[in-house]
Structure formats: structure tokens, C-alpha cells
Amino acid sequence: MIEIDGVRKSFGRLEVLRGIDLDVAEHEVVCLIGASGSGKSTLLRCVNLLEPVDAGQIVVGGDEITARGVDVNALRRRIGIVFQAYNLFPHMSVIRNVTLGPRKALGLSRRQAEAEADELLRRFGLADKRDDYPDRLSGGQQQRVAVVRALAMRPDVMLLDEVTSALDPELVAEVLNVIRELAAGGMTMLIATHEMGFARDIASRVCFLDAGVILEQGPPARIFSTPQEPRTRQFLDRIIEAGRL
């Protein structure tokens, strides 16, 4: 579903991605772990073309998205992304946040877009928040709305960029449960996360990013119990020390 091949990305003189190769199969859930600044978020933003890549290519669903002259807007409709800071539109109610993409980018009628949005909101326990503005919602509710907003575009792939990092601890679970449900439903996902316990539960594969390269990858059981690389061990030791695993 996603094929990333030799992707490089620099910001000025800082090389953030130094040759990333990664394939994500359909229905697979791949978690990216690693320290802040290791390039997880940048990689996700590259897959959604929010950042242009400097070298390498990315293929999504058979189409090379890094090719010249590609229809960026058409492509983004197939790839949902959820951000760390939710990025809901504060001047719109929940229902309008969720239906903006389907109505403007997919050209759905208001009635149809709202019918589908209501269905999604019900499924994720947000039906009663439909007409609220984002300021009124808790962080967990806002992030669930952000997930619904991305899902409303019926994407083939979901990219989740540290979606629980801005949340109070007691609100993390409700968001993770939503993602678990998506995984159970067979959604293909590429997830950057600091929640190691969650990654261990949900991932088909875990990739450890370090200084812009994937240093080690494999099934979560192996990565978390018997990491091969010293850098991976060091990272996981620090996580355990911090009580996060």
C-alpha cells in the first residue's frame, strides 16, 4: 500500500531523513518509534506531501506520489492524517469540521456528507458533540473528532502523528481505543508514537528510527524484548526508566 524508497529530506543544513526504505502492506499497522527529532513526524508529513522530499520516491496504492506533476489534492484525499495538536478548525462546529473535506474536496452534497459524518460520530461516541465547537471539547474528544474528520474522506491509509502526545494521561486511552478499533477494522496505518505499550499491542511491525534512518525493524515482540542494535536497547532502557513501558 505504501512503498517508501530511499527518501531523504533536509531542512536547511539539517538532514532529518537520511535514506528511508519502508513498505507498508494493506491492512498492516506499522509503528514508528524513536526519540524526538529522529524523523518520525517528518516521514509522515512526506507521505502526505505536506513536505516535499529531496530524494527518493514514495508510492501509495500503486501511484508514485513523488513524481512531477502529480495531482496533490487528489492524492491527499486517499491519505488521512491526524496531527499531534488535533488542528481542528476552531471556527466550525464538529459536524462542519468533519464534512468540510467530503463536501469541498469530494463534492458530496451537504445532506450526504452529514449523513456519513453522523454515522462516524455515532460509531466513535461523539454523536452528542455534533454541534459543539472544538473549544468546548476535551483534548481526547477533539482528537477523536480529528480522527473522524480524516476518516470521513474514506482514506485508503491513515497516518497518525503522535496523536496522544498532547493529551492529559487520563484521556489517552479513549483515543488509543479508537485507533485499536480502526486496526481491527483492517485500516492500513502508519503510526508515529511514544506509547510503547500501545505499539506493542497494536503494531504488526515496529520500526525504530534513529537520526533519520530505520535502524531496526521487526515484530513488536522481538523489538521490545530482544532488540539487536545497541541504540535501540539504549532507547528502550530510557523508556523503561521513565516508566513508560
Partner 1 sequence: MVYAVTHSPGWPEVEAAFFDWGAYRDSFPAISRAFLLNVKIFLIAEAFILVFALLLAVLRSLPGPVFFPIRALSIAYADFFRGVPTILVIALLGFGAPALAIDGIPTSTTFWGIVSLVLIYTAYVSEVYRAGIESVHPSQEAAARSLGLTRSQALGWVVLPQAVRRVIPPLLNDFIGLQKDTALVGILGSVEAFKQSQIEVAADFNFTHYLVAATLFVAITIPLARFTDWLVARDRRRRQAGALA
Interacting residues with partner 1 (CB under 8 A): 48, 50, 73-74, 76-77, 79-81, 83, 85, 87-91, 93, 100-101, 104-106, 131-133, 135-136, 149-150, 153
Closer to partner 1 by Cβ: residue 38 or 48: 48
Q: How many CB atoms lie within 10 A of CB 121?
A: 22
CB of 14 to partner 1, least distance (A): 19
- CA 197, 216, 85: angle at the middle one, nearest 5? 50
Phi first, then psi, for residue 112 (nearest 5°) are -70, -45
Closer to partner 1 by Cβ: residue 33 or 82: 82
CB of 107 to partner 1, least distance (A): 11
Closer to partner 1 by Cβ: residue 53 or 236: 53
Query: What are the cell numbers at 73?
Result: 489534492
Phi first, then psi, for residue 236 (nearest 5°) are -65, -35
Closer to partner 1 by Cβ: residue 9 or 76: 76
CB of 203 to partner 1, least distance (A): 23
Say which residue the cell 469541498 belongs to: 104
Closer to partner 1 by Cβ: residue 105 or 242: 105
Helix or strand run (H / E) with residue 170: helix 169-184
CB of 4 to partner 1, least distance (A): 18
CB of 48 to partner 1, least distance (A): 6
Nearest by Cα to 4 from 237, 220, 212: 212
**CA gap 132, 137 in Å, rounded:** 8
What's the distance, CA 10 to chain centroid?
Answer: 21
